[in-house]
Amino acid sequence: MKKDGRSLSHEALETCRFAAIKLHKANVHVDVIADSLGVTRQAVYRWLRTCKLFGAKALKSSKATGSEMQMTEEQLSTLKKLLRKPATQLGYPTDLWSGPRVRHLISEQFEIKYHMKHMPRLLKGLGFILKFPERRAIEQDPLAVKKWKKDRLPEIIAAASKQKSLLFYADKSLVSLIPYIGQTWTLPDRRPIIRVSGKRGQYVGVTAAVNQQGRMCFELTKENETFTAKVFIRFLKKMRMEFPRRFITMIVDGAAVHKAKVVQEFQAENISWLRLEILPAYSPELNPTEKSWRFLKTKKLSASVAKDKAELRKGTTKALRQIKKDNDRVASFFEKM
């Protein structure tokens, strides 16, 4: 029975790999190479592909990392509790838990040495996975966020329910002419190229509001217009036109335009249908509208081919209209909030 190579010793496996490469360069067919070495065709193809992508050095066998020192169940439980905390609380310069950092922690806490190659298996066994962390401003007040979640937000929701009010979250963002570029499928020997505009500093401003029932309202800023209190008031008037018979509760961040005197006066004049609430400072993760911007830029407008602001406005408007029609998508922005 042919082998895929993994059951061979390190020395024998390395010899087979280099023999396969040498035979292939001599124009020997893969089937013949596999038969002569007693391995599968898939193994030969895998070696050839590795050599092509990473060079012959990648075919050398690595030394075994040695036996893994075992931690007790109690030690593993303690380690898991420690890793639930930000790394800065244990004296590290940043909050991230990297493999080398966890290895150092184990050495310091339990005097047990692990090889680096064992760390992924150990962490996966504890239920950890790799994730891209969300950013949090160091200026954020965790107590204010906790109070908002525990006390203030439930009060706002209860009041909105009693008034039969539409509860929206609103935010503003800039859509740049230079787009977000995502990943693309391509062949190993191809270098993918996406043509985009090179004009910097050109963008379109957007204000949008979303609610948990899947409703969305948006407005683009006018040409050469910036976000001001008057622009925000204009957006509030548009919300009133879209929902003329409903009370609207609007949750926004603490930007100056949202707390401007003219906005406060507008709210006082329209208290019969409008109520504004301010989120804790430096807490964009509390606003589901942030997810709408991420979806717009990384999905709908990813690798946009807009050549100027006119095309960017057109493409942004079209994308936002599509999102607005997709009530399930808008509602999904509130998941895990």
Give residue-wise pLDDT tens across range 15-29: 888 888 888 898 889
Residue 114: other Cβ atoms inside 10 A: 20
Please report the DSSP string for 199-260 in residue order.
-TT-EEEEEEEE-TTS-EEEEEPPTT----HHHHHHHHHHHHHHSTTS-EEEEE---HHHH-
Residue 289 burial by CB count (10 A; 0-12/13-18/19+): exposed, middle or buried?
Answer: buried
Q: What value does the mean pLDDT take over residues 55-60? A: 82
**Weakest mean pLDDT among 1-15, 156-170, 174-188, 306-320:** 1-15
Give pLDDT, residue 2: 52
Out of 57-71, 103-117, 120-134, 242-256, pick the least confident. 57-71
Q: Dump pLDDT digits (tens) for 198-221.
A: 888 899 999 999 999 999 999 999
Q: Look at 29 and 62; give whichever has higher pLDDT.
A: 29
Q: What is the mean pLDDT of residues 230-240?
A: 97
Measured between alpha carbons, how far is 60 from 63 in angstroms, rounded to an integer? 10
Least confident range from 57-66, 107-116, 118-127, 261-270: namely 57-66
